[in-house]
């Protein structure tokens, strides 16, 4: 069973006690909580058994370099003592260095400053007191006090300090004329026991610690200072190189120095790549990139470079501080905004870097430094890659082609999948977009997007699963940046930065559309009110004309208000005009063009006059699934197979015409019929397997279009109709003149069905196999394509401008063909199975599937339609 997590109140208390600094080295690195007495021995999560350490010190503690007592001394370090104890309770240690063979005059102001920096480097902190005095015997004594509590650390620091002073004064390591005597003394303070006697050491001139010092320097070879610089302390260690704080002797300032790791001393490719990266960064001029001060080699021929030293912390530490200060929703929102502003600065820097043909490939919170005045820098360019060599003409081509195999991968938790799987492919700027998205993910959730054990192709969890306070728009931006496929991410960092800035300004994509339309309506209302005020002022003495004007302006205000309500109106629920219950399951139904009546076919009857008239049908009539009703609702037609013939054998169709008193006439078509419809009260259009035919009520064929039709729609004012064929073509046929025209919507569009004809016959609408709608203009042989929906079962023109369509999920949509605006008229599942749509677009007939398909209802959209007509 795993160790339980440390409670957050305990973590918060530890961070406050150590002032967000490591209790050993005092640096503001990302901190970790370590147990003084191991968990396996005590199972103790109490604050007294926990200590805050950086990653390096935590590793040394795990290796048991320090005992329990020493860790408890570290926990009572000056960082905590200055917060909770008086200064008299802090033990002081005096280090004395007596330097022989030199004079006080040898220490000018520059060397005094260097000695002070050497003390700071040796102790990883500033000393409490520093003094330099002359001794009568021709020597100089250097004395300082420190509140360091670890005897071993003091002895190690004193040895390192001796090495620095020898280097400053150019003293030979084994010179007896210029030896150094080192003495460490404990200064008692009230209530504090001194160090044990064996911890106090005096090194006499004849017993110079050079042997130990050489061993120390051999194990700490990275402390050797390059020419012109004094290494003060180490900042970080990496696989490629180590970074230090160094003192520039010429410029008299502290700088950040990064040097290639000694294990690459014999790797010529690594040295060239290190120098190449430094040269490329030196040519990047941007406020978010630290300039290169010097690129050179040290005594061991290892390349190094220096940059300005930034006083501050990385973004990871800043995020921890922001989370600790987020006590309520208001402070959380303010903290998120500050973090996103820093993130936008990083995006600006990366966008500039990409414009110069360079990729960073290791963007993460620990590589983003926030200065004391909130300036943001992008650092650590070890994984740099050039993707556009034309913009790096100052670098030699053979250096541009360098490729290392062991350090250019980046960080797994923040690198893109293509960067991890195959580094030889052409990686583009979308790889840095992924790393920026991963950084944003950790800023929002305090967790990286990937964890140990997860695969590169696993989907990224939603940030709002960790914290519901995360804004939805930020979550959308973050997840789009973290898409597995590069083509689905933002293609440039500039696109990502634009989305971030729109969120910061409160101008997201959805809100922009709504604000623009609302502003238009608000402007119209404002103009009306302004006109009202002007009219009131002008006609103040004319009461009769004023009353008329007020009525006109009030009407305009009412219109604007109704338009505003219509725009904001939610999906409308239809009104049930009539409900008809049949004794048997309903097989089909057809509405009149005006939707006032319908014909219903059941297993054994034909129902007319809204179910009030029932005409019995033969038991074995074999309904083919097509029924029609005349415009005047006086007659109805039903297509059936021959009585007694099974469906798979029957190849002919009987079309029976009924009126309210009974059967009127019938005739036989020697083919299967799949659609019939009245073009007027005396003629019937029949679509069969070989074509579309016009019959009179006695069965005489008046005209025929030979084709393989899928379905058709009849023009309301002309003797013409539109037909879609099995092979995906769209035809217009005028049966009185025998004229046929074909309409083309593109080679990749195969039409599936004719949806409806407009009221004036000037246009008709079809749907294709991909779900798109096409409106064809008959006179100009032109068409307009609209985004549609899959599975359109019917439609009609509400007016010549407005089109109503119905899909398989019974959702009803209204298209405005001039403004190309789509309005959903009903919510999903409001209606049951749709069987027909009236030609006027205001009535729909549906069958209730939950009642064994015995109930049919006529629904009206009259109220909704009136708002658009």
CATH topology of domain 311-507: Transferase(Phosphotransferase); domain 1 (1.10.510)
pLDDT for the residue numbered 285: 92
**Which residues of 193-292 form beta strands (DSSP E)?**
202-203, 229-237, 241-248, 253-260
CATH topology of domain 88-271: Alpha-Beta Plaits (3.30.70)
**Shared fold status for 88-271 and 311-507:** no
pLDDT for the residue numbered 222: 41
Per-residue pLDDT reduced to its tens digit, 412-441: 888 888 887 765 567 889 999 999 999 999
- The total of other beta-carbon atoms located within 10 Å of residue 32's CB is 15
- The total of other beta-carbon atoms located within 10 Å of residue 299's CB is 9
pLDDT confidence bin for 545, thresholds 50/70/90: low
Within 13 A of 184's CA, how many CA atoms are on the CB side? 26
The span from the CA of 235 to the CA of 244, in Å, is 5
- Of residues 250 and 85, more confidence is placed in 250
Answer yes or no: is pLDDT of 762 > 60: yes
pLDDT confidence bin for 231, thresholds 50/70/90: confident
Per-residue pLDDT reduced to its tens digit, 370-400: 988 889 999 999 888 888 767 665 555 555 5
What's the burial of 86, exposed, middle or buried (CB within 10 Å: 0-12/13-18/19+)? exposed
Q: The pTM is what?
A: 0.43
**What's the whole-number mean pLDDT along residues 518-542?**
80
SS3 state of residue 706: strand
Answer yes or no: is pLDDT of 189 > 60: no
Residue ranges per structural domain of the chain: 8-85, 88-271, 311-507, 510-568, 584-706
- Of residues 534 and 745, more confidence is placed in 534
Q: Taking CA 746 as the corner, what is the angle to CA 743 and CA 748, rounded to the nearest 5 degrees? A: 130
Answer yes or no: is pLDDT of 175 > 50: no
Per-residue pLDDT reduced to its tens digit, 439-479: 999 988 888 888 766 777 788 888 888 888 888 889 999 99
Per-residue pLDDT reduced to its tens digit, 266-283: 888 888 999 999 999 999
Give the range among 249-258, 793-802, 821-830 with minimum mean pLDDT. Answer: 821-830
Answer yes or no: is pLDDT of 79 > 60: no
For a pLDDT cut of 90, what percent of the chain falls above it? 13
For domain 584-706, the CATH class is mainly beta
The span from the CA of 98 to the CA of 713, in Å, is 109
For a pLDDT cut of 70, what percent of the chain falls above it? 70
Q: How far is CA 766 from CA 236, 661, 707, in A?
A: 68, 38, 18
pLDDT for the residue numbered 225: 67
Answer yes or no: is pLDDT of 208 > 80: no
pLDDT confidence bin for 307, thresholds 50/70/90: very high
Task: Return the biggest CA–CA distance within the chain.
Answer: 141
Answer yes or no: is pLDDT of 530 > 60: yes
pLDDT confidence bin for 369, thresholds 50/70/90: very high
Give the range among 186-190, 248-252, 684-688, 776-780 with minimum mean pLDDT. Answer: 186-190
- Of residues 784 and 106, more confidence is placed in 784
> What mean pLDDT, rounded, does the chain reach?
76
Give the range among 128-137, 453-462, 486-495, 547-556 with minimum mean pLDDT. Answer: 128-137
Q: How far is CA 510 from CA 502, 521, 594, in A?
A: 11, 17, 39
Per-residue pLDDT reduced to its tens digit, 593-644: 888 888 888 877 888 887 788 888 766 667 767 889 888 878 899 988 777 6
- Of residues 140 and 230, more confidence is placed in 230
């Amino acid at each position: 069973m795993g160790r339980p997590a440390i409670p957050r109140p305990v973590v918060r208390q530890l961070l406050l006690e150590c002032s967000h600094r490591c209790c050993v080295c005092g640096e503001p690195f990302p901190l970790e909580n370590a147990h003084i007495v191991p968990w396996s021995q005590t199972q103790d999560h109490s604050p007294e058994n926990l200590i805050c350490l950086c990653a390096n010190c935590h590793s040394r503690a795990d290796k048991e370099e320090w005992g329990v007592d020493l860790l408890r001394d570290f926990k009572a370090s000056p960082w905590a003592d200055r917060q909770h104890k008086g200064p008299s309770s802090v033990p002081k240690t005096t280090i004395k260095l007596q330097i022989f063979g030199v004079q006080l005059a040898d220490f000018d102001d520059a060397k005094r400053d260097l000695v002070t920096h050497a003390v700071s480097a040796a102790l990883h902190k500033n000393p409490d007191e520093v003094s330099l005095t002359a001794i009568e015997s021709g020597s100089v004594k250097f004395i300082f006090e420190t509140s360091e509590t670890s005897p071993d650390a003091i002895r190690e620091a004193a040895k390192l300090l001796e090495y620095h002073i020898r280097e400053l004064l150019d003293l030979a390591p084994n010179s007896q004329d210029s030896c150094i005597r080192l003495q460490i003394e404990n200064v008692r303070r009230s209530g504090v026991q001194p160090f044990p006697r064996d911890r106090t050491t005096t090194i006499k001139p004849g017993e110079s610690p050079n042997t130990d010092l050489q061993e120390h320097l051999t194990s700490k070879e990275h402390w050797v200072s390059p020419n012109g610089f004094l290494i003060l302390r180490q900042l970080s260690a990496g696989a490629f190189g180590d970074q230090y704080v160094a003192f520039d002797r010429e410029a008299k300032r502290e700088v950040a120095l990064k040097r290639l790791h000694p294990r690459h001393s014999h790797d010529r490719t690594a040295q060239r790549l290190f120098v190449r990266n430094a040269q490329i960064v030196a040519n990047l001029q941007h406020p978010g990139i630290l300039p290169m001060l010097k690129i050179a080699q040290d005594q061991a021929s290892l390349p190094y470079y220096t940059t300005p030293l930034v006083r501050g912390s990385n973004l990871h530490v800043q995020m921890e501080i922001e989370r600790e200060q987020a006590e309520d929703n208001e402070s959380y929102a303010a903290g998120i905004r500050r973090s996103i502003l820093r993130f936008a600065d990083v995006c600006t820097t990366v966008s500039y870097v990409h414009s110069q043909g360079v990729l960073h490939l290791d963007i993460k919170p620990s590589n983003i430094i926030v200065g004391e005045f909130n300036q943001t820098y992008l650092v650590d360019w070890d994984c740099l890659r050039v993707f556009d060599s034309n913009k790096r003409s100052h670098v030699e081509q053979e250096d541009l082609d360098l490729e290392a195999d062991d350090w250019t991968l980046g960080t797994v938790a923040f690198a893109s999948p293509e960067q991890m799987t195959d580094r030889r492919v052409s990686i583009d700027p979308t790889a840095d977009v992924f790393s920026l998205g991963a950084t944003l993910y950790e800023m929002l959730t305090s967790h990286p997007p990937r964890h140990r054990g997860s695969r590169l192709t696993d989907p990224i969890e939603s940030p709002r699963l960790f914290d519901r306070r995360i804004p939805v728009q930020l979550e959308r931006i973050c997840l789009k940046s973290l898409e597995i496929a590069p083509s689905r991410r933002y293609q440039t960092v500039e696109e990502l930065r634009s989305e971030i800035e729109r969120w910061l300004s409160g101008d997201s994509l959805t809100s922009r559309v709504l604000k623009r339309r609302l502003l238009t309506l608000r402007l119209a209302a404002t103009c009306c009110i302004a006109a009202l005020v002007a009219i009131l002022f002008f006609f103040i003495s004319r009461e009769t004309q004023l009353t008329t004007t007020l009525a006109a302006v009030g009407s305009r205000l009412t219109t604007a208000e109704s338009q505003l309500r219509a725009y904001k109106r939610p999906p409308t629920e239809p009104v049930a005009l009539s409900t008809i219950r049949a004794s048997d399951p309903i097989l089909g139904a057809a509405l009149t063009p005006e939707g006032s009546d319908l014909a219903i076919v059941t297993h054994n009857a034909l129902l007319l006059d809204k179910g009030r008239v029932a005409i019995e049908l033969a038991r074995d009539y074999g309904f083919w699934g097509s029924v029609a009703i005349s415009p005047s609702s006086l007659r109805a037609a039903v297509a059936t197979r021959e009585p007694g013939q099974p469906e798979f054998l029957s190849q002919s169709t009987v079309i029976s015409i009924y009126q309210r008193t009974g059967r009127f006439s019938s005739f036989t078509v020697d083919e299967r019929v799949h659609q019939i419809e009245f073009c007027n009260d005396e003629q019937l259009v029949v679509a069969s397997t070989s074509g579309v035919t016009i019959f009179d009520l006695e069965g005489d064929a008046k005209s025929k279009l030979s084709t393989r039709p899928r379905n058709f729609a009849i023009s309301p004012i002309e003797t013409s109709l539109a037909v879609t064929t099995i092979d995906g073509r769209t035809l217009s046929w005028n049966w009185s003149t025998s004229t046929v025209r074909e309409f083309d919507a593109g080679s990749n569009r195969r039409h599936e069905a004719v949806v409806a004809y407009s009221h004036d016959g000037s246009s008709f609408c079809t749907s294709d196999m991909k779900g798109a709608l096409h409106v064809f203009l008959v006179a100009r042989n032109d068409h307009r394509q609209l985004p549609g929906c899959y599975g359109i079962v019917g439609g009609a023109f509400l007016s010549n401008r407005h089109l109503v369509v119905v899909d398989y999920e019974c959702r009803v949509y209204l298209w405005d063909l001039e403004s190309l605006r789509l309005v959903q008229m009903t919510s999903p599942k409001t209606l049951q199975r749709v069987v027909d749509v009236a030609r006027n677009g205001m009535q729909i007939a549906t069958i209730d599937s939950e009642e064994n398909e015995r109930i049919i209802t006529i629904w009206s959209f009259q109220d909704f339609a009136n708002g658009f007509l």
